[in-house]
Amino acid sequence: MKIYFYSTKEQVEPARKKFHDRLMEYFHNNGVLVISNLLGKNYDDSQLSFANMDGLVIEGSDVASDVGYLIALALAQKKPILFLLPKGKAIPDQIRGLKDDKILKKLFLLNFYSDKNFEDLLLDFIDIIETGELRREVPTIKFTLRFTPRVERFLRWKSNKVKLSKADLLRKLVDEAIKADETYQSHLRKQSKTILSEEAENQN
């Protein structure tokens, strides 16, 4: 998997520089090749067609003119885009239209990151690229679960092996179980048909 990561590099404060490094390290540890303007020109111009890339990630604290160009290229190739802003940062006006567009928002994901959630956001984006499932839910519900030492040893061993936190590993295992459960998937399809039917009746 290959993604293009863009962020402004002029006058970058230490906290954002640390985020850049952690983001690229996380992708590297999860088998994702990162092409980035921050690394110098380690790509040729043909790669910026996004034909050879799987997605675009932008740290949007400072929106430069290059951002609009990169987003347009990625959208033209129908590649998913993850636009990241620090929590509390206002959404740039030129980005707000993309976020609210009914068609484009299927490819354009805007999320606010912090030290606590940014790895979850990146993992979701990797899964979106791999499975084609857009707009996955970001984990928000706290759930206390106690394990035996034997299970904890396995989780620690497995999480080190696949280079995921234990929480990310458990979420991934549950997601896979959800997709593999035909009875539950059938239940969801029936629910979806019921909702669509009710919406159609309300419109009439």
Domain segments of the chain as ranges? 1-135, 141-204
Predicted confidence (pLDDT) per residue in 165-186, tens digit:
888 888 888 888 888 888 887 8
Rounded CA-CA distance 109/158 in Å is 30
Check if CATH label 3.40.50.450 holds for domain 1-135: yes
Q: What is the pTM of this model?
A: 0.63
Predicted confidence (pLDDT) per residue in 106-150, tens digit:
788 888 988 888 888 888 888 788 776 544 555 667 778 888 989
Q: Is there a contact between 56 and 79 (Cβ–Cβ < 8 Å)?
A: yes
Rounded CA-CA distance 22/24 in Å is 6
Rounded CA-CA distance 71/83 in Å is 10
pLDDT at 11: 66
Mean pLDDT for 193-199 is: 57
pLDDT at 135: 45
Rounded CA-CA distance 111/114 in Å is 10
Predicted confidence (pLDDT) per residue in 62-100, tens digit:
776 678 888 888 888 888 899 998 888 888 777 777 766
User: And the tokens for 138?
Assistant: 């970001």
pLDDT at 96: 75
pLDDT at 58: 92
